[in-house]
Amino acid sequence: MKNNQAILHSKDYRNLLKEYGYSETDIQERIIETWDKLFSDQYPDTQIYYPVGDDLAYMLDTGNLDVRTEGMSYGMMMAVQMNKREVFDRLWKWSKKYMFMKTGEHAGYFAWSCRPDGTKLSYGPAPDGEEYFAMALFFASHRWGDGPAPFNYNQQAKDLLHTCLHKGENGLGQPMWNLENKLIKFVPNVEFSDPSYHLPHFYELFALWAYPEDRPFWKSAALASRKYLKIATHPETGLAPEYAFYDGTPNNIRGYGHFFSDSYRVACNIALDYEWFKDPECPIKINEKIQRFFADKNPSDYRRYTIAGEAFEEKSLHPIGLIATNAMASLATSSPNAKKYVDLFWNTPIRSGKRRYYDNCLYFFSLLALSGNFKIWMP
């Protein structure tokens, strides 16, 4: 563990944008400008962060007009990477006040969807929110130090991860991971997964910082997820379904067995895993296949696809997000397409209008990663 910690402390982060000829001044200006457009009320056409009173705030899914654990945890991760503690604390306090469930089957988890006034729209959790909450909290603890609850970030993260694994042992509920195969579930009460939920680079860090009794599980989960991504993506196109069974085959419940919105994140997760850890099991060839598949596609005509690459009539709901994730994929590729996708991303503005939330979250994460600013914050 100590050797791994030392390596991470001394880590250099690749600035792919600079490697491809963009100036450091332009890169920093783009980061600040993009942050402002997402988090400031001076840009209502692109804003997705909304303060409430003196100490609360939420991230709005503008397409569905609700607040999701996905967005709240994403906003917290953006804030800790940008050193914006007030934004982080506002989002976390809102999440704890309105989303955290203290009673019932899912006590200890967060309700995945609420109205902007805090009313719960669902009493079920979505594990992608929990894993991002935990990682953002660890980074906050390491970057800023801990305060009184709920800002005792380190303990909050460890307690949440412990619940994710041990829920149901002494009462109602189910864990968020299948404890036998070490794969994350789509939701706790089902036995299938979402390939875009798999974050082996997070699990490597959970294996360092979770409660000691949980650390071996997280180390195994990192390996299991890297292997799972290989079987859940198409061998030729690299495309992943939104839902997949544990054997990797698409789960077409309600049409979610195709490459669509959730699926875009797989390329990001592989890229960041490779950037952070360079683990030999990281399936970087998937990103090369994805970039090759989209090489002859017009970004204005991105669609829903089967994982084999057959196009549907239905257009992509989030084409800017797909441009962003295909660019972030370049952190783990070496093909001639790598610079092409980064240039396309750089020359694409963030999205305005109703569907801007998901696209612009992916856009900002890609901007951070491609500029070497999506970092591991160590204790």
Q: What is the pTM of this model?
A: 0.97
In this structure, is residue 315 part of a structural domain? Answer: yes
Q: Is the dihedral of CA 333, 337, 343, 347 positive or negative?
A: negative
Q: Tell me the residue range of the domain where 226 lies.
A: 2-370
Is there a catalytic annotation at residue 262? yes
Q: What is the SS3 assignment for 67?
A: strand
In this structure, is residue 294 part of a structural domain? Answer: yes
- Separation of CA 66 from chain center: 18
Active-site residue identified among 70, 130, 242, 275: 70
In this structure, is residue 375 part of a structural domain? Answer: no
In this structure, is residue 377 part of a structural domain? Answer: no
User: Directed axis angle between helix 215-232 and helix 265-277, to 10°?
Assistant: 130
> Rounded to whole angstroms, how far apart are CA atoms 247 and 217?
20
Active-site residue identified among 66, 262, 288, 359: 262
| Amino acid in position 107 | A
> Rounded to whole angstroms, how far apart are CA atoms 154 and 135?
10
The owner of tokens 């001394």 is: 10
203 within 8 A of 214, measured Cβ to Cβ: no
147 within 8 A of 159, measured Cβ to Cβ: no
The backbone torsions φ and ψ at residue 110, rounded to the nearest 5 degrees and listed phi first, read -110, 135
In this structure, is residue 56 part of a structural domain? Answer: yes
User: Directed axis angle between helix 200-209 and helix 127-144, to 10°?
Assistant: 50
pLDDT one digit per residue (tens) for the chain, 379 residues: 445 676 687 689 999 999 999 999 999 999 999 999 999 999 999 999 999 999 999 999 999 999 999 999 999 999 999 999 999 999 999 999 999 999 999 999 999 999 999 999 999 999 999 999 999 999 999 999 999 999 999 999 999 999 999 999 988 999 999 999 999 999 999 999 999 999 999 999 999 999 999 999 999 999 999 999 999 999 999 999 999 999 999 999 888 999 999 999 999 999 999 999 999 999 999 999 999 999 999 999 999 999 999 999 999 999 999 999 999 999 999 888 999 999 999 999 999 999 999 999 999 999 999 999 999 999 9
In this structure, is residue 378 part of a structural domain? Answer: no
In this structure, is residue 358 part of a structural domain? Answer: yes
What integer pLDDT is reported at residue 2 of this predicted model?
Answer: 44
Q: Is the dihedral of CA 225, 209, 106, 181 positive or negative?
A: positive
User: Directed axis angle between helix 265-277 and helix 319-328, to 10°?
Assistant: 20
* CATH code of the domain covering residue 29: 1.50.10.10
The backbone torsions φ and ψ at residue 312, rounded to the nearest 5 degrees and listed phi first, read -95, 170
Is there a catalytic annotation at residue 70? yes
In this structure, is residue 171 part of a structural domain? Answer: yes
What integer pLDDT is reported at residue 1 of this predicted model?
Answer: 41
Q: What are the tokens at 244?
A: 């997949």
Q: What are the tokens at 103?
A: 């009673």
Give how many domains the chain has, as a whole number.
Answer: 1
What integer pLDDT is reported at residue 171 of this predicted model?
Answer: 82
Picking from 171, 172, 143, 168, the residue whose alpha carbon sits closest to that of residue 157 is 143
